[in-house]
Chains A and B, each alone.
Chain A
Amino acid sequence: MHKGQFVLERSGLEQLLQALRAEGYLTLGPKVREGAIVYDEVQQLEDLPIGYTDHQEGGTYRLRRRSDEALFGYNVGPHSWKRFLHPPLLRLFRARKVNGNLEVENEAEPIPKYAFIGVRACELAAIQIQDRVFLGGPYQDPHYKARRAQVFIVAIHCTQAGNTCFCASVNSGPRAQTGFDLALTEVLEGDRHYFVGEVGSEAGGRLLDRVAHRPAEGPECSRAEALVAQTARNMGRRLDSEGLKERLYQNLEHPRWEEVAARCLSCGNCTQVCPTCFCTSVEDHNDLAGQIAERTRRWDSCFTADFSYLHGGSVRVSTKARYRQWLTHKLATWQDQFGTLGCVGCGRCITWCPVGIDLTEEVAAMNNPAISTLPGRQEGGTHV
């Protein structure tokens, strides 16, 4: 139906936002709050972080003013879209004890209809990765599924790269390839402020038809293309992902793990801000009378001391073991589990680590093979 690229003026984007709201979507997008850009309800374009940019480095995040009025002139903040699709706290069920019977109540909760405004390529990749986790296996998570099915995605191709960004080296950006309803590139040229866009789905096409737009002209497309291409060349970090899985499997006893463990606080920030981390825990509560019990699910982190609790103690006691678990899961075992890398190169873990641990640096450090390999490989011994 819609072929080729279109142009939306700034006013057209406002119309798009209002059209989504008119269709009953809860429009979520970036907003400035408490010194960071987070995802929250956006009711009009003025709610966006207009004229803001973010300065990010290992352990550093600061907002700064731009010299222009760009709506999306920054990268990603501490929030990711997973907080909406995979909620931090969720009630799984409520049960009652009635006459010695166990009755499980299944509340037909209204599932929110979200529109995500300003989804970056790395974030889209992260959503697709979580799709595999929650929908691609022998079981499907009905809570994720219900929220995911209704989401409308307006993606933004990044026109600048952050210091901690490395989406290019993991093939997840800066251009969003699939999975969006509409994708836009923001262009500021002189006194012009427009968006070059593409339609990614029928729903996107239908929505576009309700707002003022026109086909993009050659120079406009080229300009947008150039901005994105330049972004790909300006990545702040790079992950050497060649043979990464094998490299990590062979270096599980590399001395570097001890070094990074000495710095790591096992605070778990990385797991909270990471858009693909999905671990949760389940808790049972009951009321004082013991008549009603609830089971809730909340985000958990493999860095917590009792994450791996078994038989009176934890399997992964040391910080080293827990950091190793997180990194090897994200970059190696995830590949065996889900067929893709678990990391999308958004750089959040680097930015929000209080001590600035940089996983691209850790991985690079392990390029030098370590002394010991896997135990039990020695042949002929009396033990296994």
Chain B
Amino acid sequence: MSKTGLEHYLSEHPFFRSLRPKDLAWLAELAEPLAMEVGDYLYREGDVSKDFYLIQEGLVRLEIHTPGQGELVIQTLGPGEVLGWSVMLPETRKTFDARIFQATRLLAFDAAAVRKRSEEDHHFGYELCKRFSKVIGERLQATRLRLLDLYGQPH
């Protein structure tokens, strides 16, 4: 996809929608397209947050390794999802593995660059924080509902 094509693509995505055109252009320039195969690791537990990602195609699995039980799946994320909200917080490390389990194409956005621009341009930084907050909120809400075990036997 060309950079203008990418800009257009981002502008239509709920996460990036309504960002200022210059911010969209900057992000489109920053975006690095990745193609990954089944079994590849996007990142591992303990890695420093290097990028945040927009999944275009495929499925990514967040896992955690437990001795005796192998890989426990936390969550799967598919096309359209944004992965890596912790990028806004410097020096955070990943708490889960992110592994590809269906051939995936994604866009990666360099975390350090995003943080630097956010510090220099607070408007940009605030807009990103709002959007990441929304992602976090939705994940949290869904997680809480899963905890309710609604499909379980009534007590």
Is A376 interfacial (CB-CB < 8 Å)? no
Chain A residues closer than 8 Å to B155, beta-carbon distance: 312
Chain B residues closer than 8 Å to A311, beta-carbon distance: 154
Interface 1/0 per residue, B133-155 and A, CB below 8 Å? 00000000000000000000011
- A311-B155 Cα distance, complex, nearest whole Å: 8
Chain B residues closer than 8 Å to A313, beta-carbon distance: 154
Chain B nearest CB from A372 CB (Å) reads 24
**4 pairs of residues in contact across A and B, judged by CB atoms under 8 Å:** A311-B154, A312-B154, A312-B155, A313-B154
Chain A nearest CB from B56 CB (Å) reads 26
Interface 1/0 per residue, B26-44 and A, CB below 8 Å? 0000000000000000000
- A30-B153 Cα distance, complex, nearest whole Å: 53
- A97-B154 Cα distance, complex, nearest whole Å: 32
- A312-B149 Cα distance, complex, nearest whole Å: 15
Nearest 4 pairs between A and B by C-beta?
A312-B154, A311-B154, A312-B155, A313-B154
**Residue of B whose beta carbon sits closest to that of A383:** B141
Interface 1/0 per residue, A289-313 and B, CB below 8 Å? 0000000000000000000000111
Chain B nearest CB from A179 CB (Å) reads 46
Chain B residues closer than 8 Å to A312, beta-carbon distance: 154-155
**Residue of B whose beta carbon sits closest to that of A312:** B154
Chain B nearest CB from A317 CB (Å) reads 15
Chain B nearest CB from A308 CB (Å) reads 14
**Residue of A whose beta carbon sits closest to that of B137:** A382
B window 106-155: CB within 8 A of A: 154-155
Chain B nearest CB from A313 CB (Å) reads 8
**Residue of B whose beta carbon sits closest to that of A382:** B137
- A180-B14 Cα distance, complex, nearest whole Å: 69
Interface 1/0 per residue, A306-343 and B, CB below 8 Å? 00000111000000000000000000000000000000
- A292-B118 Cα distance, complex, nearest whole Å: 79
- A109-B154 Cα distance, complex, nearest whole Å: 42
**Residue of A whose beta carbon sits closest to that of B141:** A382
Chain B nearest CB from A239 CB (Å) reads 40
**Residue of B whose beta carbon sits closest to that of A311:** B154
Interface 1/0 per residue, A232-261 and B, CB below 8 Å? 000000000000000000000000000000
- A312-B154 Cα distance, complex, nearest whole Å: 6
- A313-B153 Cα distance, complex, nearest whole Å: 12
B window 52-82: CB within 8 A of A: none
- A313-B155 Cα distance, complex, nearest whole Å: 8
Chain A residues closer than 8 Å to B154, beta-carbon distance: 311-313
